[in-house]
Amino acid sequence: MSDNRPANDIGTPRHVRKIVIVGGGTAGWMAAAMLSVLLPAQQREIVLIESDEIGTIGVGEATIPIILNFNAILGIDEADFVRKTQGSFKLGIQFIDWRHKGDRYFHPFGRYGGDFGPVPFHQYLLKLRAMGEAPDLDDYVLSGSAARANRFDRPAAGAGSVFSTYSYAYHFDASLYARYLRDYAERRGVMRVEGRIVDVALRGTDGFVESVALEGGRRIGGEFFIDCSGFRGLLIEQALKTGFESWTHWLPCDRAVAVPCDSAPVLTPYTRATARDAGWQWRIPLQHRIGNGYVYSSAMLGDDEAVATLMANLDGKPRAEPRMIRINTGRRRKAWNKNCLALGLAAGFMEPLESTSIHLIQTGIAKLGAFFPDLDFDPLPIEQYNKRVAYEWERIRDFLILHYHQTEREDTKFWAYCRNMSIPDTLRNKMEMFRRHGRLMVEPDELFKEASWLAVMLGQGLIPQRYDPLTDAFDEGTMRGLMANIRSAVRQTTERMPLHSDFIARNCRADALPA
């Protein structure tokens, strides 16, 4: 639109004041809580509409370390949060049977080794491999070593260099997390409206969302709408016809069956992902139960067989009937369309292999903070928002595809398909650079950094043909001594850490656990 104001006149603010969030659950209440912090109370009215009759998916019970930033902005006390969500701590993900049956590796939170010499630390690991040695990656990263020993501790203030490489996240009950954030948001003035939406009205002049109608006739209008209505995308898709880009040709799992079970004797501080004949099974340990699920391709496995496989591979007695979930990995063609922004499953679905679902809600909200609109809804920042969202989703997509494609397995139809499928050029280029030169080509704004790509590439059997030649410029004896010092520091620090279960018992044990 034209702007004839003088150059030194920035005009009267045209603030968006009424925000309507459609849908609760993790996405809706994360958005409500954060917006209640970012926007001055006197300049906003936030209404969240949800219906108790509509269930939530609730499979996203594992997170990645960036959630600590989200909770910190909200001023959430960690012990209180873990206690009330009956959570546990997470140091990474253990992968079983992905490269081939009987194989396992660990994707840790944190980085390997330390900085010395002219090249990245992993090049020295590659040199040792080339010399016929087989260094255990977990010996060089505290989160991997601690996970292996079922130990956990928070990094202490002023801790040394080993703890500086250490990160962690959480496992928690997603429904309790949503409840926790609801309480937080309502204390800060967010208004919750109970009801089922039966109609969406669009403005005739520009097609923007104008209002939603509830059963019983109540109509709620707004200036900015956030769609957290789940897979159906009530606003972003059903009303605005935004379109969906499916990635099931690369990520072919389109079903999940989930069930909780009784806890195991050892409370492990990591998520487990075990490859099965037509997909993979998750295991997420909480204080009061273990969350389990089988993500699979319905074209290659029947639902009954999937349920049977899951139920045969539980740590304890099931606590509910298995729940079937239809999924479609991919994203909306626009996460932000007109005056409607989609978060969570309304924006798309990234299967939970690397626990990115809650992260994508969080970064969707963070990007909104960077491009928050006024009443003009200038399309330029909206376009930039959509570009950044698309970039992030596509880089995460590539990382997930790596797990499936880089495998030696061809023992089932599913794994043969994954091993031989075509992959995006962006992923192929990363893999080839690592295969041929041992170099990790990761852009600064990608979610998964060099340590993550290294863990999965080596774990899945992508072994470089050579290492960086500058590695040989560093004295071999000195190199070995420094690497031995790192191993020793990691081992000694791990031995001083408490068991994961003991840490929780002393600091954040849930007040009462369900029977």
Task: List the catalytic residues.
Answer: 90
Helix, strand or coil, per DSSP, at residue 222 = coil
Taking the C-alpha atoms of residue 34 and residue 226, their distance in angstroms, rounded to an integer, is 13
Q: Residue 149 burial (CB < 10 Å; 0-12/13-18/19+)? A: middle
CB atoms within 10 A of CB 447: 18
* Tokens, residue 36: 């209640």
**CA dist., res. 494 & res. 127, Å (int):** 26
Q: Which residue has the tokens 């909306």?
A: 332
The Cα 210–Cα 163 span in angstroms is 51
Going by their DSSP bridges, the two strands 336-337 and 224-227 should be labelled as unpaired
DSSP state of 330: E
- Asked if 212 and 220 count as a contact pair (C-beta separation under 8 A), the reply is yes
Beta bridge partners of 169: 90
* Nearest-5° Cα angle at 131, 130 to 135: 80
Q: Tell me 351's DSSP state.
A: -
| Structure tokens that stand for 436 in this block | 């041929």
Alpha helices in 259-356 (DSSP H): 303-311
Separation between Cα atoms, residue 352 and residue 363, nearest integer Å: 16
> For residues 223 and 213, what is the distance between their CA atoms, to the nearest angstrom?
15
Q: Quick one: which of 514, 458, 373 has its CA closest to 128?
A: 458
Residues shown for the chain: 515
Burial environment of residue 122 by CB neighbours within 10 A (0 to 12, 13 to 18, 19 or more): buried
Residue 270, both tokens: 């990591």
Alpha-carbon distance 468 to 437, whole Å? 7
- Which residues sit opposite 280 in a β-bridge? 275, 295
